[in-house]
Amino acid sequence: MIQQKKSFAEQARDATKAVVRIHVQGFSETDPRSILDPRFVVPEEWSGSGFFINHNGEDGYILTNSHVARNSVRLQIRSILTSDEPFNVEVLGIVEDLEPDVALLRLTNSDKKRFLKYSGLKRIPALKLGFSVDVRRGDEVKTIGYPLGVDEPHFSGGEISNFIAGSGDTTERMVTDAAINLGNSGGPALVRGGWVVGINTAVIEGAENFGFITPIHLAKNVLDVFSRKRKAGLPRLGVLIQKNSAPNAASLKTANAEGVIVRKVLAGSPAEAMGLKARDLVLAINNENLDRHGNILAVSKSRKRNIYDILHGIAEGKPVSVKIDRAGKILRFKKNLFYWNPDEISQKPVLVDREFMSFGGLILQEVCADIVSALISFGYNRDIILKDFYMGGSKLVVTHVSSGSLAEEMGLYVSDFVVAAQREKVRDLKSFFLILHDAKKNKQRHVLLEFASGAIGNFEFKHLAPDELFVQRIQPTELKI
């Protein structure tokens, strides 16, 4: 008897066995008060979705969104295979800045055994990852997850309606008209054949039938990185680019108006290590030819993909080849892509990774994008913050001034940057700590702080508590829910 192929609905029903609800206890990453004064973090609970995959030949691994898992202290999953029984999972890998929005979890060893016992299975089911599946507009898609706190996996059907190309700071997305609601995040997006082509990620507030899916090929890249280390990030070449034009191409002594112009090569970047220079004309990345806008010529008639999408598709540690035109001469460069942090305001979304000092009524932290956003929410001027950061050369910003403290008496204020201590330049928490340590060791009575605004603060060591001379971190064990 010839076995009939399963319908798409049957394939999706089978897939639900591998989809789990994730319950999370952790820190609020959006409360501006706890961002600016990390001594008083806000506990929070939330939920999301995820799905079992095989990773390096083993089962019990769960793929989900990073925003479901980051700032978590405790994670548990529930599955329709095991009734309402909770199981503990641990974070194995995470993309902290959500680009791409991917995290890898795993059942703890004891709970993996317990899961198999409760489910009556010998092996945990896993979904097939469609790394090589060609996804096009109009393809039917089903999203599966646990939206709005429901206890059983929820289907939503629709189609791939569009694609959004990436940028220097964001990865590409697939767009679907299938409903993606709160709690759906981290669940699988399936096409016919039961292939997972993406991870349900987000919706645009106020828009209808417009949900984002993180393409699965981006998850593959970070899974490769997770095998070597816990954190992954967005691959960057480290160049600022400008679209090309016939007049500019002529000024660069090249007749080719295709490709993009390198405006600047950033220090410490793969591009600098490779030997790229300002005014180079980038014609191709990994043998993908670029038009003058930086879009890929080969796919420009069907969808928009660009230079950033090529780079984001290269896993950290893998080679990237660049073809350039330098004053009419064609050159080729090749180097393994490595992760690097440009010298700018960084992303530090994970609260337990942030360091701070409580000093004389001041809370001092190294500035990051989340701190800037929190300051803006309290009415501080973004342009002044950025000017003081770039002009002052210091990352150390005042994020809180305690009421009734010596710092308040001195007239010091939130959003100002510490630029010097004891007449020595301050760049970050480490340099500030070393200056304090030396001053204390040399039995100096006072420490004079200078700020980007021109303000000063003269503090006596005898008025400082012992813990005010050390860098501190939030301790996850302090969380009580």
Higher pLDDT, 196 or 204: 196
Token readout for 292 is 């003058």
Question: Which is it for strands 154-164 and 140-145: parallel, antiparallel or unpaired?
Answer: antiparallel
3-state secondary structure of 20: strand
Judgement on whether residues 55 and 105 belong to the same structural domain of the protein: yes
State the pLDDT at residue 9: 92
State the pLDDT at residue 475: 67
- Phi, psi angle pair for 431, to nearest 5°: -65, -35
Considering the domain boundaries, does residue 345 fall inside one?
A: no
Judgement on whether residues 101 and 119 belong to the same structural domain of the protein: yes
For residue 150, how far is the Cα from the chain centroid?
A: 27
CATH number at residue 179: 2.40.10.10
Considering the domain boundaries, does residue 49 fall inside one?
A: yes
Task: Please say whether the beta carbons of 75 and 90 come within 8 A.
Answer: yes
**What's the rounded mean pLDDT across residues 380-385?**
93
Token readout for 24 is 């999370």
- Angle (nearest 5°) at CA 471 between 466 and 473: 115
Considering the domain boundaries, does residue 344 fall inside one?
A: no
Residue 425 has pLDDT above 70, yes or no: yes
Residue 479 has pLDDT above 60, yes or no: no
Residue 55's domain spans which residues? 8-128
Long-range interactions of 254-258: CB distance < 8 A, separation 24+: 254/281, 254/325, 254/327, 254/328, 255/328, 256/281, 256/283, 256/325, 257/292, 258/283, 258/289, 258/290, 258/291, 258/292, 258/297
Considering the domain boundaries, does residue 244 fall inside one?
A: yes
Question: Which is it for strands 87-95 and 231-232: parallel, antiparallel or unpaired?
Answer: parallel
Nearest CA to 237 among 254, 201, 262, 209? 262
CATH number at residue 393: 2.30.42.10
State the pLDDT at residue 449: 97
Judgement on whether residues 415 and 392 belong to the same structural domain of the protein: yes
Considering the domain boundaries, does residue 455 fall inside one?
A: yes
Judgement on whether residues 79 and 103 belong to the same structural domain of the protein: yes
Task: Please say whether the beta carbons of 53 and 19 come within 8 A.
Answer: no
Token readout for 479 is 């969380």
Domain count, the chain: 4
End-to-end CA distance of the chain: 57
Residue 391 has pLDDT above 50, yes or no: yes
Judgement on whether residues 200 and 149 belong to the same structural domain of the protein: yes
Owner of token pair 């064990």: 477
Residue 1 has pLDDT above 50, yes or no: no
Single out the residue in 84, 112, 128 at which a domain terminates: 128
89/94 Cα distance (integer angstroms): 14
Considering the domain boundaries, does residue 1 fall inside one?
A: no
**What's the rounded mean pLDDT across residues 368-379?**
92
Judgement on whether residues 184 and 248 belong to the same structural domain of the protein: no
Considering the domain boundaries, does residue 269 fall inside one?
A: yes
Residue 207 has pLDDT above 70, yes or no: no
Which bin fits 433, alpha (ψ -120 to 50), beta or left (φ > 0)?
Answer: alpha
383/389 Cα distance (integer angstroms): 10
**What's the rounded mean pLDDT across residues 412-439?**
96
Judgement on whether residues 398 and 412 belong to the same structural domain of the protein: yes
Judgement on whether residues 99 and 148 belong to the same structural domain of the protein: no
- 290, amino acid identity: L
**What's the rounded mean pLDDT across residues 126-144?**
94
**What's the rounded mean pLDDT across residues 250-260?**
85
> Going along 123-207, which residue ranges are E strands?
128-129, 140-145, 154-164, 173-176, 188-191, 195-203
**What's the rounded mean pLDDT across residues 428-449?**
94
CB burial readout 433-467, b (16+ within 10 A) else e? bebbeebeeeeeeebebbbbbeeebebeeeebeee
Single out the residue in 336, 363, 397 at which a domain terminates: 336
Considering the domain boundaries, does residue 341 fall inside one?
A: no
Judgement on whether residues 124 and 135 belong to the same structural domain of the protein: no
State the pLDDT at residue 180: 84
Residue 206 has pLDDT above 80, yes or no: no
Single out the residue in 276, 302, 336 at which a domain terminates: 336
Judgement on whether residues 227 and 309 belong to the same structural domain of the protein: no
| Tens of pLDDT, residues 61-120 | 999 999 999 989 999 999 999 999 999 999 999 998 889 999 999 999 999 999 999 999
Judgement on whether residues 13 and 98 belong to the same structural domain of the protein: yes
State the pLDDT at residue 286: 94
Judgement on whether residues 165 and 283 belong to the same structural domain of the protein: no
